[in-house]
Amino acid sequence: MEVEVYYDVSSPYTYLAFTRLFNVIERYGAKLTLLPVYLGGLFKALGRTLPHPSKLTYMQKDLNDWASFLGVPLKFPSVFPLNSIQVQRGAVWMKDRGLEEDYVKRVFPAYWVEDRDLSKDEELLDIVSSLGVDSQDFLQGVRSEEVKQKLKEITEAALSRGVFGVPTFFVSGEMFWGNDRLLFVEKKLEGSKRS
């Protein structure tokens, strides 16, 4: 069974989901398809804005509660929201080289645990280099029209499927949105394994 996941590194709830996602996929022998979107573009198309300051304050508490519950590290970043367009274009470029999973396993904790400003080239290139990728090739790739267009197309395809935020999972055509809905994804995978 395939699990498709729309994601953006700037989403804290996606970070929380990704701390468990790969184990879930492995446990059920599912196929994982990662689909990077640009959350800023998604929100703009939907007319959504940043959360109200009081909601943002609560969100930080909620994130800490979740991190504590899951037993995972989380440090709310000093730069929030993150302009994630280059990180997401990087995911597209890495996907074409079979390195997307390694990449996301590094960029999520870099932003949500290490408080690294991934909108800065030097921070992102440091991560890319640690994966054995030539930083100049990467920069050239993420700035290419082909990669820019591909990220735009994935984001538009997400919108056409009813995606309004991340993480959004699709399992056998059924949509599940949010970190907490990973439980339902797992239940669906469990059901398919039994049948």
Report angle CA 97, 168, 4 to the nearest 5 degrees: 45
The secondary structure element, H or E, covering residue 2 is strand 2-7
Joined together, the tokens standing for residue 58 give 């609560």
Active-site pick, 11, 78, 119, 195: 11
Sequence-distant (≥ 6) Cβ neighbours of residue 12 within 8 angstroms:
59, 63, 74, 76, 112
How many residues in total does the chain contain? 195
H helix count then E strand count, the chain? 9, 4
Sequence-distant (≥ 6) Cβ neighbours of residue 86 within 8 angstroms:
118, 119, 121, 124, 142
Catalytic residue check, 11: yes
Give φ, ψ of 168 to 5 degrees: -125, 125
CA atoms within 13 A on the CB side of 6: 27
Three-state DSSP class for residue 171: strand
Catalytic residues: 11
